[in-house]
Structure 1
Amino acid sequence: MKLHVLALSAALALSMATPAAHAATGPGVSWQAAAADADIDRYFVQAKAEKKPVLLYWGAKWCPPCNQLKATLFNRADFIEQSKAFVAVGIDGDAPGAQKLGTRFKVRGYPTMILFNPAGNEVTRLPGEADAAQVMKVLQLGLSSGRPVKAVLADAKAGKKLNANEWRLLGFYGWETDEQQLLPVAERPATLTQLAKASEGVDTETTTRLWLKSVGALAEGKAADPAQLPRLRAVLADAGQSRAQMDVLTNEAPDLVKAFAPQPGEARNALVAEFDAALKRLNEDNTLSRADRLNALQGRIDLARLDSPKDDPNPKGISTALLTEAREQAGKANREITDGYERQAVVTEAAHLLGRAGLWKESDELLKSALARSHSPYYLMSQLGGNARKQGRKADALRWYEEAFNKSEGPATRLQWGSNYLAALIELSPEDTPRIEKAAAQLFAEAEKDPGAFYERSERSLKKVGSLLSSWNQGPTQAAAVGRLKAQLDGVCGKLDGSDAKARSACQGLMKKA
């Protein structure tokens, strides 16, 4: 799923509690930093006393879509004004207790935005992938309602009558960051289909959105009802409707096409042509942010390579005209963007779409030219490593992945980048036992210093390390290295707080398979 959404430019002065919070959030709003349960509890007490809702933002300094939010939503005058009506809490994913807070609030992906009522009940998760103006409308609906979307969903499923605003809360709910708070994943497509049907006649935009999501990526590749194809074509042909559903159409273009045209052929080609026209219109729409416009261009590239193998580094079927547009728009973005937040969001997206188009030289050059101006160059280094790996340049790939790990900042980020580096080593140079053992040992040493290492994203990074070592352990040399690493990890587990059963269990389970 693409999360490259909402690009912004920063403007106003920042009032923040700590430098760490500055990294997590953006300028213009008086965000209060949270790094532990005590911080959160204090802010909820404050919210209850002041009868204000709480808006919780979870993000990371390097994260492109987080930077997009900083540049198109958090600096909007209406958002800044609206923020006076709620307690704004920013959680930097690399703060000491951030990953534990991630477990508490069931958040995994960056960014996640959750609105709570003054009583501390979750009202809704905001759709970070939507247009900034749409997000503002949903935020205002949530603030005025205060009613948990879980209760709204229960009423809708029970056949109770909802008003247009309640339907809009469901349609523009952050389904991608739900983490099964409302629904098990398996039930999502059928429920969205049910909601789309039940909402008919109340709010056309919401009905269309629910329906599109029910047949797009959230439907997990299931075929759509062919009788509904004219409905999709009507959305694509109508400039107003396609603009309103911009994020769904750009992010889920391949899934929607494959749902209605599962096999290559004339039917698929015709639908791709209609989709391409709609995406081209969005790509040229100056009312959209630069990131959203590039997302539309990437959607066009993804459709052009739809019949190529998924990981084909040199896809066929992309027209010379489309390749020219990719080069020109990526170059224009690189030349014109001066804001650091927008650069992190847009340049990384531009480099990605160049790679998807098979323009690897241009992608590499763009990333290299942007390194010195990025506040998180290690993210770009990882992209350079990925580019090299896809092209079969193993030594270059490992060099970039290693440099990205060495330059990465923050405990959760370092574990994530380190596990990626270890994965590259085991894939591309499995015979290099000393280097693999050294990387894994460094990760365990860093986990020992991080009180949140066995929670959420950090735990997933370490589980990945354990799984990688298990798959790599195929001979006596590897077994000896794994044995030494297990002994090191046992020491880490033994030093954990005895009262933290969750962390101890996670730590002790890492190397069982290995």
Structure 2
Amino acid sequence: MTLSPCIARRPLRAWTAAALLAAALTGMASHAAPALPSTQVAWLAAATDDDIERALAQARAQKKPLLLYWGATWCPPCNQLKATLFNRQDFAAQSRSFVAVHVDGDRPGAQKLGSRFKVRGYPTLVLLQADGQEITRLPGEADAAQVMALLQAGLSGGRPAQEVLAAARAGRALRRAEWRMLAFHAWDQDDPPLVPAAQRPAVLADLWARSGAADAETRMRLLVKASAAGVGAADGLRPDRAQREQLLAMLSDPAAARAQMDVLASQAPGLARVLGGDGAPLAAPVDAALERLQADTALSRADRAAALIARVALARLGQPADTAKPQLPEPLLRDVRAAVLRLDHDTRDPHERQAVIPTLAYLQAQAGLWADSDALLQANLARSHSPYYLMSQLGSNARRQGRSDEALQWYAKAFDRSEGPATRLQWGAGYLSALVDLSPGDARRIEQVAAQLFSEAARDPAAFHERSARSLQRAGQKLAGWASARSEAGDTLRRLDRQLQAVCAARSAADGQRAACDALAKLLAPAPAPAAARG
């Protein structure tokens, strides 16, 4: 089961990384959502370089850092932030210590800012010095109180994360707050990354080994992250018996496990494998800790649902990852059904519902409760301010169950009703991909959707920046692959190539968009005729 990308990341805590690919489509009654994340905070809306320069000038004049929030109206984790962090009174009070800037990825020109700040996924929180130098990226998936603590540490004159990491690896002394910055750093959200993904297991293992001066909670977070990252890696941490006992002690301590909630939810299968040593995964202690988190009413509803998703993932260990009918214990299925009923009933805030409902529907799908997942999504279409996101899940559900025609109907509706230039390119690319996969013989419809996508790109002044450029590139690659397997597709590709050439000709070379557009057009260019034919 896949969800539309925020690009996703963690599973609201648990689903986002794997759940991000699907297409994103939707429609039906759309309820307007506030443009800014919180009316209690003096957010400055930004979509251009000039907007950012004005915000940085204000930060310099007021001798304050700048907090940049990059998000989208439909994005479930973004709505989770709005419901759990941005609406807090202490966040509103703390906001007087920084200049708050909101970049909505669907505002005209906003994707160019994505390139400037190297942000690829929604949501991203970047804390900057007044001169524009990055201090750190805050983990949007952590508990709101933990994010607040990290924000306060960054506001107290913290060094940039890159500098702190270099000092740690060189063996220089760090303050406890700096160790905490590294332990909580959003490792998968920076670009270029603080550490390349392939090197991350070794780096986390090294940080754990050097973190003796850090507080116990920070050391445990590094141990959990390093242990889970080391699964299957050649140079990651291999916990010895003493370290496994530390992990087991954490799991059995409700307060200690609560402090590691986000990493437990996202790393549960890996942690179970680590605890099993060289044998079978040891899932029971991880499941017990997650079951307590699932029942912890002090956690947000999305976090409690994510704990249950992680329990389902543990129960699915050893089963094919793509199975549509997993074998789960009946008590766990009863927990899933009861939790969905309760959380659906109790979630009233529209932002929170946009985070909770997709998470619950994903939970049901992972548990094999497909009819329940479909019913929940359809019942919430009229209540959602971004129903096209839910429609993409309905398409994904139908696809996973082999109902291709129904899947394409949902994807078409979602693309038709999606809103915002970057979102429409992303949803359109997803619909096109599904068409190629599920109905490759429908050349007429494939060409129509691709032509519409390129027409919308022509009207978008930032279509070849960041997320929008990646959406179009994926569409081009899909078309090229489709055409390479079908000799009759040549005429379709030639018509689309001519359309795209005109789009590229209107782009400026100065900001890189012309080059990005030309690279896309090259994918569609007809292959040169053989030499003998030319002669």
The one of 319, 328, 342 equivalent to 1:308 is 319
Aligned in 2, Cα 1:87/1:71: closer, same or farther, shift over 3 Å?
A: same
- What corresponds to 1:361 in structure 2? 371
The one of 143, 159, 170 equivalent to 1:158 is 170
Q: Check the 8 A contact 2:11/2:306 in 1, yes or no.
A: no
Q: Which aligned pairs between 1:11-410 and structure 2 lie closer than 5 A? A: 22-23=34-35, 25-217=37-229, 224-227=237-240, 228-261=243-276, 267-268=280-281, 271-316=282-327, 318-410=328-420
TM-score, structure 1 as length reference? 0.93
- Give the drift of 1:353: 0.5
- Give the drift of 1:296: 0.4
Higher mean displacement: 150-159 or 399-408: 150-159
Which amino acid in structure 1 is aligned with residue 97 of structure 2? A
Which amino acid in structure 1 is aligned with residue 202 of structure 2? A
SS at match of 1:177: coil
Q: Check the 8 A contact 1:291/1:345 in 2, yes or no.
A: yes
Q: Check the 8 A contact 1:224/1:259 in 2, yes or no.
A: no
Q: 1:38-71 CA distances to partner (integer Å, 9 max, x unpaired)? A: 0001110110011011000000000000000000
Q: Check the 8 A contact 1:315/1:357 in 2, yes or no.
A: yes
Q: In the aligned structure 2, how far is the partner of 1:280 from the partner of 1:315?
A: 20
Q: In the aligned structure 2, how far is the partner of 1:457 from the partner of 1:261?
A: 40
TM-score, structure 2 as length reference? 0.89
- Give the drift of 1:186: 2.2
Q: Check the 8 A contact 2:111/2:467 in 1, yes or no.
A: yes
- Give the drift of 1:154: 1.4
Unaligned segments of structure 2, at least 5 residues: 1-8, 15-31, 525-535
SS at match of 2:264: helix
SS at match of 1:124: strand
SS at match of 1:55: strand
- What corresponds to 1:11 in structure 2? none
- What corresponds to 2:473 in structure 1? 463
Does residue 494 of structure 1 match 2:502?
Answer: no
Does residue 4 of structure 1 match 2:17?
Answer: no
Q: 1:244-276 CA distances to partner (integer Å, 9 max, x unpaired)? A: 10000011112222345488x7x32xx111111
Q: Check the 8 A contact 1:97/1:451 in 2, yes or no.
A: yes
Q: Check the 8 A contact 1:62/1:344 in 2, yes or no.
A: yes
Q: Which aligned pairs between 1:411-426 and structure 2 lie closer than 5 A? A: 411-426=421-436
Q: Check the 8 A contact 1:313/1:390 in 2, yes or no.
A: yes
- Give the drift of 1:430: 0.3
Aligned in 2, Cα 1:137/1:323: closer, same or farther, shift over 3 Å?
A: same
Q: In the aligned structure 2, how far is the partner of 1:326 from the partner of 1:463?
A: 38
- Give the drift of 1:377: 0.2
Structure number with greater CO (CA < 8 Å, separation at least 6) is: 2
Which amino acid in structure 2 is aligned with residue 477 of structure 1? E
- Give the drift of 1:447: 0.4
- Give the drift of 1:168: 1.1
Which amino acid in structure 1 is aligned with residue 267 of structure 2? E
Q: In the aligned structure 2, how far is the partner of 1:120 from the partner of 1:499?
A: 22
**Which consecutive segments of 4 or more residues in structure 1 shift more than 4 A?**
217-224, 259-263
Cα RMSD, aligned residues only? 1.8
Unaligned segments of structure 1, at least 5 residues: 7-19
Q: 1:462-484 CA distances to partner (integer Å, 9 max, x unpaired)? A: 00011100110022321111111
Q: Check the 8 A contact 2:509/2:515 in 1, yes or no.
A: no
- Give the drift of 1:224: 5.0
Q: In the aligned structure 1, how far is the partner of 2:81 from the partner of 2:231?
A: 26
Identity %: 53
**How many residues end up aligned between the 2 structures?**
495
Q: In the aligned structure 1, how far is the partner of 2:126 from the partner of 2:262?
A: 19
Q: In the aligned structure 1, how far is the partner of 2:277 from the partner of 2:522?
A: 42
Q: Check the 8 A contact 2:205/2:237 in 1, yes or no.
A: no
- What corresponds to 2:21 in structure 1? none
